[in-house]
C-alpha cells in the first residue's frame, strides 16, 4: 500500500476533534451523553475514530464527569499530531505500511479514515450508489414513481462548487431552458427529508449515506436542472459535491413537474 501523508492523517484527527466540539453546542463543553448522540449519527471507521478520540481526551485529564472542553480537545489534538503521527514518520516522507502498523490503535484508526477520504471521486460515487441501494428518491413534488439513485461523476479540477462551476463541469448552457439550474438546495435539508421518508431500517441507511457524503465531499448540495415548464417535464436531480481529487461526485435521480 502506498505511503500516506502526515497532513492527511492530521486532517482526520482534526475532523474528529471538530465533531467532538460541535457535539457540545454553544457552551463549548461536550458531555458523554452529547458525544453518544453524535456517534449515533456516524458510521464505520469515522464513528470509531470520534468515539476513541473522545475517550483519549478524557484520559488526558478531562473532568471526572467526562465533560470535555474545547481546551481539552485542542490539547489532545496537539498530542495526537506529535505522538501518534509525527513520531512514526521517522524519515519525514509520509507514513509507510510498516510505520502505520507500529502506530497505536487510535493512530491506525485515523489512517483508516484518512485513506477513506483519499479515494477518487469516481470510487466515491460508486460507493454512494452502493450505500443507496435500498433507498429511493421521492422529493420536490415529483410526479414520477419513486426513483432509484445512480452514481454520478464528472472528472474535473474544481476548487469549489458553485452554480457557475457546476454548469461548467456539466457543459450546461444557461440560455437553454433544459440547461438552466432550476433550484439549488442545501444537502442537509434534503437528507433530513430522505431519512423521514423511509422506514426505520432504511432511515439508518439514509443517515449512513448522508454522513458518508458529507464527510467526503465539500460544498455538497442538490441541483435540479431545467426550467419549469419549458425545460421539462422530466428534470435531472444531482446530489453532488467536490471530491478530494477535485472531481464532481455524488448521486443522480429524476423528477417530473407538469
> Domains in the chain: how many in total?
2
Q: Do 50 and 67 belong to one domain?
A: yes
Query: What one-character-per-residue DSSP string does the chain give?
Result: ---B-HHHHHHHHHHHHHHHHHHTGGGSEE-HHHHHHHHHT--HHHHHHHHHHHHHHHHTT--TT--EEHHHHHHHHHHIIIIIIGGG-TTSS-B-HHHHHHS-HHHHHHHHHHHHHHS-HHHHHHHHHHHTTT--B--TT--SPPB--EEEEE----SS--HHHHHHHHT--TTSTTTSEEEEEEHHHHHHHHHHHS-HHHHHHHHHHHHHHHHH-EEEEEEEES-TTTT-SEEEEEEEEE-TTS-EEEEEEEEE--
Q: 142 has which bridge partners?
A: none
pLDDT at 62: 60
The torsion angle over the Cα atoms of residues 103, 107, 110 and 115, rounded to 10 degrees, is: -10
Same domain, 135 and 197: yes
Assigned domain for 249 exists: yes
Question: 27 and 84: one domain?
Answer: yes
What are the tens digits of pLDDT across the range 111-161? 999 888 778 899 999 999 999 999 999 999 999 999 999 999 999 988 889
Residue 1 has pLDDT above 60, yes or no: no
Q: Which domain covers residue 64, as residue numbers?
A: 6-117
pLDDT, tens only, 43-70: 888 899 999 999 999 988 765 677 889 8
244 in a domain, yes or no? yes
* Same-domain pairing of 27 and 80: yes
Residues 53 and 95 in one domain: yes
Q: For residues 164 and 184, state if they share a domain.
A: yes
pLDDT confidence bin for 42, thresholds 50/70/90: confident
What is the tens place of the pLDDT at every residue in 147-189?
Answer: 999 999 999 988 889 999 999 999 999 889 899 999 999 999 9
User: Stretch 34-43: mean pLDDT, rounded?
Assistant: 88
Amino acid at each position: 500500500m502506498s505511503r500516506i501523508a502526515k497532513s492527511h492523517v492530521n486532517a482526520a484527527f482534526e475532523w474528529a476533534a471538530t465533531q467532538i466540539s460541535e457535539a457540545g453546542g454553544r457552551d463549548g463543553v461536550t458531555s458523554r451523553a452529547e458525544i453518544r448522540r453524535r456517534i449515533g449519527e456516524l458510521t464505520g471507521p469515522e464513528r470509531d475514530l470520534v468515539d476513541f478520540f473522545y475517550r483519549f481526551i478524557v484520559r488526558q485529564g478531562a473532568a471526572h464527569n467526562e465533560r470535555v472542553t474545547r481546551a481539552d480537545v485542542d490539547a489532545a489534538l496537539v498530542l495526537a499530531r506529535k505522538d501518534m503521527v509525527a513520531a512514526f514518520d521517522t524519515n519525514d516522507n509520509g507514513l509507510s505500511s510498516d510505520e502505520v502498523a507500529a502506530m497505536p490503535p487510535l493512530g491506525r484508526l485515523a489512517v483508516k479514515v484518512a485513506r477513506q477520504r483519499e479515494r477518487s471521486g469516481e470510487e466515491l460515487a460508486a460507493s454512494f450508489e452502493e450505500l443507496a441501494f435500498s433507498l429511493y428518491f421521492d422529493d420536490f413534488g415529483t410526479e414520477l414513481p419513486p426513483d432509484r439513485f445512480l452514481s454520478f461523476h464528472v472528472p474535473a479540477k474544481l476548487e469549489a462548487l458553485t452554480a457557475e462551476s457546476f454548469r461548467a463541469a456539466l457543459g450546461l448552457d444557461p440560455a437553454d431552458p433544459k440547461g438552466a439550474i432550476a433550484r439549488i438546495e442545501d444537502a442537509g435539508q434534503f437528507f433530513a427529508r430522505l431519512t423521514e421518508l423511509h422506514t426505520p431500517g432504511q432511515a439508518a441507511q439514509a443517515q449512513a449515506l448522508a454522513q458518508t457524503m458529507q464527510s467526503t465531499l465539500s460544498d455538497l448540495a442538490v441541483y435540479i436542472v431545467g426550467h419549469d415548464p419549458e425545460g421539462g417535464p422530466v428534470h435531472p436531480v444531482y446530489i453532488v459535491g467536490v471530491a478530494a481529487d477535485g472531481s464532481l461526485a455524488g448521486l443522480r435521480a429524476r423528477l417530473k413537474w407538469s
